[in-house]
Amino acid sequence: MEGDLQKFLDELRSRLSVADVVAEKVKLTRKGREYLGLCPFHNEKTPSFTVNEAKGFYHCFGCGAHGDIIRFEMEANGLPFMDAVEKLAHKAGLAMPKFSKEHSLESQKKQSLFEIMELAVSFYEKALRLPIGAKGLEYFYNRGIDDELIKKFRLGYAPSNNDLKAYLKTKGVNEFDMAELGLIAQPQDQNKTAHDFFRNRVMIPIFDKQNRPIAFGGRIMGDGQPKYLNSPETTLFNKRKMLYNFNFARDKGYESKRLIICEGYMDVIALDNFGFSYAAAPMGTALTEDQI
């Protein structure tokens, strides 16, 4: 049943333009490959709300609001998940299938987990630009990764304390969901509290084919071990089935009729810097049958 709903949602997203859906609430102006407008989710005088038609999402650099057409319909109109889906289905001329209540709850739960991951991505992005993230920013610059690449790949920094855990709590996220997503870790000593899973590392978010954040890779900036720390497998993330950057590389690969497979995240970003935007990397030491 989950696969049936996912297929329906994918069809819905392919039928509707994210720019058209957003334009019902926001006056948009074309700017290069994106659209720009005043964010409907917070007060601002200078536009910081962008819509990327090719990737199918909106993002506000002012308040961090981010999502696809379904998330926008939910947030802009105060609708629950299935009501937003039904409204968009009517707009797209699609007959709404009947899903069980249990199935609907599962889908809403998964949607909630994606939203928590998006909060984490935005948190790490902002931390990179704060004084606490200065060494992370310097690390990227020293690797030849400029601001444009940092923005494209949504790179960030994980502070050395439990700032992410504290931030997510202010957003109403419980520790069970944080742990389920691999964002916090429970120490062996049960008398101690859970702490941020990623600490004092530059952060590379991993996205699925729909450009939704599902996991992270964290790289240490010194000589410590492990050099790379990846998210554990979760409800959203199965590393055997994922290729890093496939969300970008897929379309470019179709255009060029080729796909470069690299060893790791930094290789992919370096190749993109030189114009090879059809590079991807496995999550482990070798390609799996699922990835191929």
* Domains of the chain, earliest start first: 1-96 (3.90.580.10), 108-233 (3.90.980.10), 238-291 (3.40.1360.10)
Block residue for tokens 């969300």? 247
Residue 281 main-chain phi, psi, to 5 deg: -140, 145
Provide the token pair at 249.
């590389």
Provide the token pair at 29.
């102006």
Task: Evaluate whether 143 touches 266 at the Cβ level (below 8 Å).
Answer: yes
Q: What is the pLDDT of residue 1?
A: 44
Provide the token pair at 267.
């290789």
pTM for this model (two decimals):
0.68
Q: What is the pLDDT of residue 202?
A: 98
Q: Annotate 132-146 with DSSP letters as a single string.
A: GGHHHHHHHHHTT--
Task: Evaluate whether 123 touches 170 at the Cβ level (below 8 Å).
Answer: no
Instruction: Please name which of 245, 239, 250 lies closest in space to residue 287, comparing C-alpha atoms.
Output: 239
CA distance 284 to 292: 13
Stretches where the chain sits below pLDDT 70 are 1-3, 99-106, 188-190, 254, 284-292
Q: What is the pLDDT of residue 287?
A: 62
Q: Strand 29-31 relative to strand 34-37: parallel, antiparallel, unpaired?
A: antiparallel
| Longest pairwise C-alpha distance within the chain | 56
